[in-house]
Chains A and B, each alone.
Chain A
């Protein structure tokens, strides 16, 4: 199962749980698993079928490029971060 790190600003929803293991083939399934476990997270993470504006997901150290359909491996480490651009 993938290891999902909970951003500190979501821990009001997780009872201070800072990471957990979840099954899922892609971010959409991970988000669904998070919402089932901690209702309210999806409202912060997802807008329509996309990652919410201003947020990004890092899978194994790389920013996911396929949004909620980004593939996740059973050994993956997932972080949710502020979105970055560049100059």
Chain B
């Protein structure tokens, strides 16, 4: 789908080499956190709160400490006092008091599953028995789990030290609303006056979990010399190091984080949970301590994405031009402030040119686990609301939904509601690709069948990345990068390096380094890794090429400027060296060639996608079957198309789960009632058809190969696309997620005798 004028000839980029870590992954030899075995290893276990909200009056660990086989017990008393400390973690700042109180509760527990104490013992069974012997005296407090209830004046106040901040302006009264965001563009009243058609609807979404297959796992060794080593499944080794060091109040140089292979993260493996606790236990017992969560621990103790309430109003003229939009969004933050309302509010209208708009967003604490990022955090909820209203407007105006989007699509020069102006972006191209796709052109016939479409937007962020490389004398290159690999990035980074240097992808041996082996690198998240770490790899390749040119000049007794390089072949007059031939001569031209680069790029990019789906709704059970699904996305430049397609397919399937079944079900005591994969319904291979993909390439001008991040955008559109398809199939507008059979059946039969 790349325009011909923009097609460049690449030798490596755009091909599909076998992934470098493939053999280890398919043979089971890749080392995940749970595989780690160390001499003298002992096992840790966490005691979790049975209450959704309670004051912790006392903790008595004496009986647990006396149990044979118990080696250490840790509670809030073992944590440094972190009151009012703010730490910079690279991606942003964090309130350490809140982070620490989430890792081990201090004066209160804020959700069922909140960690209260921990035990290390000779084996996991003894540790499990020991935590049951810890006596905690709770004063149970009223709990609140629905975002709108938490905003009420008479709601239970979670934190007496949390005040509403409005772009830095602080309220005088404690509140369950830590953040209020407000954007304005144009004149909203005038805008709606100019509208011929206005649609306004209210929406609700349930909390869902990232659902990574690998539970959290960490092992820590606090050595006798005071150095702490942590082996963990994390999206960012340096981010985990910073959090662990800050929570323990020791220098970062005293902590080494070794990132293990990771079985999925999706944003949920950025914050630390087990790492500092395992370290505290190790300090006490002098042994390496391994901690592994159960699935129940993962659901109840780690971050879901926010539940939300949203109101969206859009107005358009008869000829289909949007003139005004207004959104009111309230998102859960869970137990502690700092949810994802910011990006939610920034994304709600980001697909469209709107001359007049107003957006209010509220971050709300309540008695749920602290929410964490989940693939395009905050954008999926907002798109569900906006794209459903867009669909309804198109219907009322009798305009094809793709044409309506094309008439109003954001493009280069469009000013977002929050202010910035887009550079070149690819939404229009994804809509055009949708329009000409075999799926859109196909007929969908039959009762209770419908087709829906929706678009989505997510930022790409830049942040900091480091890469180093060593040239081997056989012509291969060992590449060490700081980005943990959660989606095939080892290979897509190696491919950019190979392309620049003019060697094959197979000649590059990429490895993810620990925090002592490579320069500082921010987390793998924000759709940044292939962009930013790829950019660092490109710069390393240029550095190596420069050094190799100098070596060739030594051998040819000429100036480096007289050496030509093309496709990895170094030439001077009639003399030539391939990269491998030249690598074999490094020993007598000055020794090893080592390259390095660190980048902190600005101008990452903007990612747009459009999804379409055909559904069939069972009129008796209201079960929705996905008949056909196509995901279209602007990848800028697809480095390894299989990985881009994989991200699009994976994001679409997660979005399908969010749309149709996944939800945290709470009882009236604020306790989650479905904390297992038996009861928390994620899609399986039997629930989804093959996800068709169309990659659009509108190169990102801020990257030498035009890369845009692709990891997050694909989860945004599915719920809205499916809601629009359900409407086409049944005539029922669904405004609440998940659109599970009971909820859809109730909507389909509302007002009817059933």
Known contacts A82-B342, A85-B461; decide if A65 and B166 are in contact (CB<8 Å): no
Tell me, in angstroms, the Cα distance from A87 to B91 when the chains sit together: 11
Tell me, in angstroms, the Cα distance from A39 to B505 when the chains sit together: 56
Tell me, in angstroms, the Cα distance from A80 to B342 when the chains sit together: 12
Report if B183 contacts A (CB, 8 A).
yes
Inter-subunit contact B461/A82 (CB<8 Å):
no
Report if A15 contacts B (CB, 8 A).
no
Known contacts A10-B167, A85-B461; decide if A50 and B88 are in contact (CB<8 Å): yes
| Contact count A vs B, C-beta below 8 Å | 131
Report if B375 contacts A (CB, 8 A).
yes
Inter-subunit contact B182/A9 (CB<8 Å):
yes
Inter-subunit contact A66/B86 (CB<8 Å):
no
Known contacts A9-B167, A44-B168, A63-B602; decide if A86 and B418 are in contact (CB<8 Å): no
User: Across the two chains, which residue of chain A brings its CB closest to B88?
Assistant: A50
In the complex, chain B residues whose CB is within 8 Å of the CB of A53: 86, 92-95
**Which of B319-327, B524-532, B734-742 sits within the interface?**
B524-532
Tell me, in angstroms, the Cα distance from A83 to B183 when the chains sit together: 14
Report if B331 contacts A (CB, 8 A).
no
Tell me, in angstroms, the Cα distance from A39 to B265 when the chains sit together: 44
Contact of A87 among B374, B419, B600 (CB under 8 A): B374
- A49 nearest CB across to chain B (Å): 11
In the complex, chain A residues whose CB is within 8 Å of the CB of B346: 81-82, 84
- Interfacial residues of chain A within 56-87, with CB under 8 A of chain B in the complex: 58-66, 70, 77, 79-87
Inter-subunit contact A59/B342 (CB<8 Å):
no
Inter-subunit contact A81/B375 (CB<8 Å):
no
Residue-wise interface mask of A (3-31) relative to B, using a CB-CB cutoff of 8 A (1 in contact, 0 not): 00101111010000000000000000000
- Interfacial residues of chain A within 38-52, with CB under 8 A of chain B in the complex: 43-45, 47, 50, 52
In the complex, chain A residues whose CB is within 8 Å of the CB of B280: none
Inter-subunit contact A44/B169 (CB<8 Å):
yes
Known contacts A43-B168, A65-B463; decide if A87 and B422 are in contact (CB<8 Å): no
Report if B421 contacts A (CB, 8 A).
yes
Tell me, in angstroms, the Cα distance from A84 to B683 when the chains sit together: 29
Inter-subunit contact A64/B169 (CB<8 Å):
no
In the complex, chain A residues whose CB is within 8 Å of the CB of B91: 85-86
User: Across the two chains, which residue of chain B brings its CB closest to A77?
Assistant: B421
In the complex, chain A residues whose CB is within 8 Å of the CB of B527: 86
Tell me, in angstroms, the Cα distance from A81 to B461 when the chains sit together: 14
- A59 nearest CB across to chain B (Å): 7
- B328 nearest CB across to chain A (Å): 15
Report if B420 contacts A (CB, 8 A).
yes
Tell me, in angstroms, the Cα distance from A58 to B462 when the chains sit together: 12
From A8, A54, A66, A85, residue with most partner B Cβ within 10 Å:
A85
Report if B266 contacts A (CB, 8 A).
yes
User: Across the two chains, which residue of chain A brings its CB closest to B165?
Assistant: A54
Known contacts A53-B86, A58-B419; decide if A86 and B165 are in contact (CB<8 Å): no
Which range holds the interface residue count of chain B?
Answer: 35 or more
Secondary structure at the B interface, as helix, strand, loop or mixed, is loop
User: Across the two chains, which residue of chain B brings its CB closest to A50?
Assistant: B88
- A18 nearest CB across to chain B (Å): 8
Report if A55 contacts B (CB, 8 A).
yes
Inter-subunit contact B602/A64 (CB<8 Å):
yes
Contact of B183 among A8, A70, A85 (CB under 8 A): A8
Inter-subunit contact A65/B462 (CB<8 Å):
yes
Tell me, in angstroms, the Cα distance from A82 to B374 when the chains sit together: 18
Which range holds the interface residue count of chain A?
Answer: 35 or more
Inter-subunit contact B266/A87 (CB<8 Å):
yes
Inter-subunit contact A82/B421 (CB<8 Å):
no
Residue-wise interface mask of B (430-462) relative to A, using a CB-CB cutoff of 8 A (1 in contact, 0 not): 000000000000000000000000000011011
In the complex, chain B residues whose CB is within 8 Å of the CB of A80: 167
Inter-subunit contact A81/B419 (CB<8 Å):
yes
Report if B744 contacts A (CB, 8 A).
no
Tell me, in angstroms, the Cα distance from A70 to B601 when the chains sit together: 12
Known contacts A9-B182, A87-B377; decide if A65 and B165 are in contact (CB<8 Å): no
Inter-subunit contact A87/B267 (CB<8 Å):
yes
Inter-subunit contact A5/B168 (CB<8 Å):
no
Known contacts A8-B183, A44-B169; decide if A86 and B267 are in contact (CB<8 Å): yes
- A3 nearest CB across to chain B (Å): 11
Tell me, in angstroms, the Cα distance from A86 to B347 when the chains sit together: 13
Tell me, in angstroms, the Cα distance from A53 to B95 when the chains sit together: 9
Tell me, in angstroms, the Cα distance from A65 to B373 when the chains sit together: 21
- B321 nearest CB across to chain A (Å): 24
Report if B568 contacts A (CB, 8 A).
no
Known contacts A54-B338, A86-B267, A86-B525; decide if A8 and B601 are in contact (CB<8 Å): no
In the complex, chain B residues whose CB is within 8 Å of the CB of A87: 210, 265-268, 373-377, 525-526, 711-712
Report if B345 contacts A (CB, 8 A).
yes
Known contacts A54-B179, A63-B462, A65-B602; decide if A83 and B342 are in contact (CB<8 Å): yes
Inter-subunit contact A86/B376 (CB<8 Å):
yes
From B374, B461, B601, B702, residue with most partner A Cβ within 10 Å:
B461
In the complex, chain B residues whose CB is within 8 Å of the CB of A60: 603
From B169, B422, B604, residue with most partner A Cβ within 10 Å:
B169
Query: What are 24 pairs between A and B in contact, CB < 8 Å?
Result: A8-B184, A10-B167, A44-B167, A44-B169, A47-B86, A50-B88, A53-B92, A53-B95, A61-B420, A62-B603, A65-B601, A79-B420, A82-B341, A82-B342, A83-B92, A85-B340, A85-B343, A85-B525, A86-B267, A86-B525, A87-B268, A87-B373, A87-B375, A87-B525
> 11 extra interchain contacts, Cβ-Cβ under 8 A, other than A63-B461, A85-B461?
A5-B419, A47-B86, A50-B88, A62-B462, A64-B602, A77-B421, A80-B167, A81-B420, A84-B343, A86-B461, A87-B526
**B residues at A contact (CB < 8 Å):** 86, 88, 91-95, 165-169, 179-184, 210, 265-268, 270, 338, 340-343, 345-346, 373-377, 418-423, 458-459, 461-464, 525-528, 600-604, 702, 711-712
